Amino acid sequence: MKLRVLMEPRHGATYDRVVAMAKATEEAGLDAFFRNDHYLGIDSTDPEYRPTDSWTTLAGVAVETTRIKLGTLMTAGTFRHPGVLANAVATVDQMSNGRVILGIGTGWYEREHKAFGIPFPPIGERFDRLDEEMQIINGLWTTRQGEPFSFDGRFWRLEEARNFAVLVQKPRPEIVIGGTGPRRTPLAAARWADEFNSGGGAGTAERYAKVRQVCEEIGRDPSTIRMSVTTQVICGSTRAEAEARLDRLGEPGRRMLSMGTVGDVPAVVGALQELKAAGAEIAYLHIFDIDDHDHLRLIGAEVLPQVA
pLDDT in tens, 219-246: 999 999 999 999 999 999 999 999 999 9
Q: What is the mean pLDDT of residues 246-275?
A: 87
CA 299 to CA 13: how far, in whole Å? Answer: 22
Residue 10 pLDDT level (bands cut at 50, 70, 90): low
| Whole-angstrom distance, CA of residue 135 vs CA of residue 149 | 11
Closest CA to 265 of 232, 231, 230, 300: 300
Tell me the pLDDT of the chain averaged across its residues: 94
Residue 39's pLDDT band, with cuts at 50, 70 and 90, is: confident
Q: What is the mean pLDDT of residues 23-32?
A: 99
The confidence band for 59, taking pLDDT boundaries of 50, 70 and 90, is very high
Q: At what angle do helices 54-64 and 82-95 cross, to 10 degrees?
A: 10
Which domains does the chain carry?
2-307 (3.20.20.30)
Residue 12, SS3 per DSSP: coil
Give the chain's length: 308
d(CA 194, CA 169): 14
- DSSP character for 224? G
Mean pLDDT score, 210-225:
98
Please state the pTM of the whole predicted model: 0.95
**Is a pLDDT exceeding 90 seen at residue 9?**
no
